[in-house]
Amino acid sequence: THFGYKTIKREDKEKMVGGVFSSVASNYDLMNDVMSMGVHRLWKNHFINRLDAGMRPGSNRPLDFLDVAGGTGDIAFGLLEHAEKRFNDRASTMTIADINPDMLREGELRYQSTKWNDGSDRVNFLVQNGETMDQIEDNSKDVYTIAFGIRNFTNIQAGLDTAYRILRPGGIFACLEFSQVDNAAIDYIYQAYSFSLLPLMGQLIANDRDSYQYLVESIRKFPKQEEFKGMIEKAGFYVPEKGYENLTFGVASIHIGVKL
């Protein structure tokens, strides 16, 4: 283990995840900013633009979006805004799902003051475990997004299988996640930063060393880009030629899968 960091037992993971996100729900943005040095905002914008989702002019069927581990709604609201600006789409629906009611409440609070809170019921919130999604029917969604969420799943493959189950044929799976740096020198600096500086910053800024330490560990344990791509294929998705896109030397990456 790098830099003398201890490993968290698997059976403690689920409990930890609940605790981590409950304790940070209200200053969650701060944590993301610290983690990524502010760059997560650029990554998220790129993710949304790259997906370029929305009901195309001339189409008569609105899309059904599902943002899993949606937390505070960054991605969900970004997607809706994009669809409206690019395609004048004011009809597609959005479900924001998260396992943690505190995180979801933050999203709902934000939603109250958005333009989508117009009584139209286009946006709804659901407490759900992304591994099972038992309240979402088979073949019922067009776009499945998940940003910085899937590495927290206890069973990542189950989450991918579920994504496949609930997407319609032709539906798109898109994941933005911390990933593995592809350059040795930069990786050395990055590891040093994340294993020593990050937990310290977590302690100083949020008085919460453990949560930041958990996040560092969860990033380190997440499968590398090629392996994750293989898991997406295993779930049944067709992965387009390049398969994934590295952002900032692979500090994060975007994976896409299509349900044929």
Interface residues with ligand SAM (CB under 6 A)? 17, 21, 68-72, 74-75, 98-100, 103, 129-131, 147-149, 152-153
Work out how close the CB of 208 gets to ligand SAM at its nearest, in angstroms, rounded to a whole number: 14
Please, which residue, 21 or 195, has the CB nearer to ligand SAM? 21
Which residue number, 17 or 66, has a Cβ lying nearer to ligand SAM?
17
The one-letter code for the residue type at 20 is: V
What lies within 8 Å, CB to CB, of 175 at 6+ separation is: 145, 146, 147, 150, 232, 254, 255, 256
- Between residues 101 and 236, which has the closer beta carbon with respect to ligand SAM? 101
Report the Cα 182 to chain-centroid distance in Å.
Answer: 21
**Which residue has 């032709």 as its token pair?**
170
Nearer to ligand SAM, 130 or 250 (CB): 130
Closest separation in Å from C-beta 67 to ligand SAM: 7
Least distance (Å) from ligand SAM to the CB of residue 119?
26
CA–CA separation, 135 and 41 (whole Å): 30
